[in-house]
Amino acid sequence: MAGQVDALFWFMFSVSALICLGVFGAMLVFVVRYQRRPGNEVAQRLGPTTRLELSWTLIPLGLALVPFVWGAKLYLDMARPPDDALEIYIVAKQWMWKAQHPEGQSEIDELHIPVGRPVKLTMISQDVIHSFYVPEFRIKADLLPDRYTTTWFEATRPGEYHLFCAEYCGTGHSRMTGRVIALGPAEYAAWLQGGPTLSPADQGRRLFQQLGCAACHETGLAPNLQGLFGQPVTLTTGQTVTADETYIRESILDPGAKIVAGYQPIMPSFAGRVNDEQLLQLIAYIKSIGPQPGGQPSGGPPPPGPALTPLPTPAATGGQAP
């Protein structure tokens, strides 16, 4: 991706340089040549200008479409992470970065990634707006406090790269920096070994039990979460929303906001009881029991709790959790 962005950049640079050369060269020549002096006391009368005007209106207009289409295509690619991307969660706060790997490692102000594999970041801020910027990969994305944003990249060479916060976030803004460390596959595997602990999805499952979510969500009082993630959900208002990260987060923190059709608003708010990292773990768990590319729900961990009885789910894929 970085190479493609550079290609567009140098294309635009070349065209711009040509335009500059043309305009500046013409200005210079005219200024030298048409000095006011004896023999050139007055300017030549202007002829009709319309044809020239139209040409330098329409030609730039056509020319402008090239970088637009090119830039838009790359932007769309940036907005759509590949399906096989490694998903890492990022939580930012004044003034540090925290990364959580699917295998369980978490790190601060550093991000270890494997070379040659797309990495998708799902990110949120705990306070003000930050922006995740790695110049080497030509990517930048703001982290918002109220919903998840994503970006993705693929490192091609092992090495250490700058990580900057690019959106001004207060006193320590310029110190909110870090390193992205791209490792070869073997080194990355070795690095993963160094870390302990449960994957976010496992931690999420544990939280799910600890917080008592299962008491309703696995008994029919509240929508079943199996196979839910990424599916459309019909609300009491008749609207349909997609059960994505932001919706799940909202449902945990503000359960009354969007209630699934067919259920009562009985769920208490968990705002203040779970922090952003735990939210991400819960989401990772719900994701892990979501629809799998292969077809059947649930890939990694086994379905928690007792065997599931058929539930009065309003939508075919199950409802969401108020």
Partner 1 sequence: MSATTLPAPASYATVSYGLRSWLLTTDHKRIAILYMISITVLFVIGGLAATLMRVELLTPGGRLMDDATYNKLFSVHGIIMVFFFLIPSIPTVLGNFLVPLMIGARDLAFPRLNLASWYIFMLGAAFMLWAIFTGGIDTGWTFYTPFSTSSSTTKVVPALLGIFISGFSSILTGLNFIVTIHRMRAPGLTWFRLPLFLWSLYATSVILVLATPVLGMTLVLVALERVLHVGIFDPALGGDPLLFQHMFWFYSHPAVYVMILPGMGVTSELIAAFTHRQVFGYRFVALASVAIAVLGFLVWGHHMFVAGMSVHAALIFSILSYLVAIPSAIKVFNWTASLHRGAISLDTPLLYALGFVGLFTIGGLTGLFLAALAIDVHVTDTYFVIAHFHYIMVGGMVMAYLGGLHYWWPKITGRLYPEIWGKLAALTVFLGFNLTFFPQYIMGYLGMPRRYHVYPAEFQVFHVLSTAGASILAVGYLLPLVYFLLSLWHGQQATANPWGATGLEWQTSSPPPPHNFVDKPVVTSEPYNYPTREPAHG
Partner 2 sequence: MSVEDRNARGEPTTSPRTALVVCAALLILTGVSIAVAHLALGGWNALLTLLIAAVQAVLIGAFYMRIRYAHGLPRLVVVAALLWFAILLAGTLDDVLTRGWVPVLGK
Partner 3 sequence: MAERRTTLSGRSAVPTAPGLGGHVAAERPPALAEHFETLEQQHGVNALGMLVFLGSELMFFGMLFTVYTAYRLRYPEAFAMGSRHLDLALGGINTAVLIISTLMMALAEHSALRGERRWLPRYLALAILLGLLFLGIKGLEYYHHAQEQLLPGFAFSFSGPAAEQVQLFFLLYYAMTGLHAVHLTAGIGVACVMLALAWRGGLLGAEHWPLEMLGLYWNFVDIIWLFLFPLLYLVGRP
Go through the chain and tell me how many residues it has.
322
Site for partner 1, residues 247 to 306, rule: CB under 8 A: 254
The DSSP secondary structure of 2-13, one letter per residue, reads: HHHHHHHHHHHH
Q: Which is nearer to partner 3, 201 or 259 (CB)?
A: 259
Which of 15, 257, 273, 275 lies at the binding interface for partner 3 (CB under 8 A)? 257
Kindly determine how many residues on this chain lie close enough to bind partner 2 according to the rule CB under 8 A: 15
256 touches partner 3 by CB under 8 A = yes
Partner in contact with 265, chosen from partner 3, partner 2, partner 1, none, beta carbon below 5 to 8 Å by kind: partner 3
Q: What residues numbered 79-108 form the site for partner 1, per CB under 8 A?
A: 79, 94
**Is 242 among the residues that bind partner 2 (CB under 8 A)?**
yes
We find the least distance from the C-beta atom of residue 1 to partner 2, in angstroms, to be: 15
CB proximity list for 214: less than 8 A, separation 6 or greater: 208, 304, 305
Task: Check: CB of residue 88 under 8 Å from CB of residue 120.
Answer: yes
Which 52-81 positions form the footprint of partner 2 (CB under 8 A)? 76, 79-81
Site for partner 3, residues 214 to 243, rule: CB under 8 A = 237, 239
**Partners of residue 87 on adjacent β-strands:** 120
318 scored as a contact of partner 2 (CB under 8 A): no
> Nearest 5 degrees, angle CA 242-CA 247-CA 253?
160
CB atoms closer than 10 angstroms to residue 78? 19
Nearest to 259 by CA among 309, 173, 320: 320
At position 210, the amino acid (one-letter code) is: Q
Q: Does 40 bind partner 3 (CB under 8 A)?
A: no
**Which spans of this chain sit near partner 3 (rule: CB under 8 A)?**
237, 239, 254-257, 259, 265
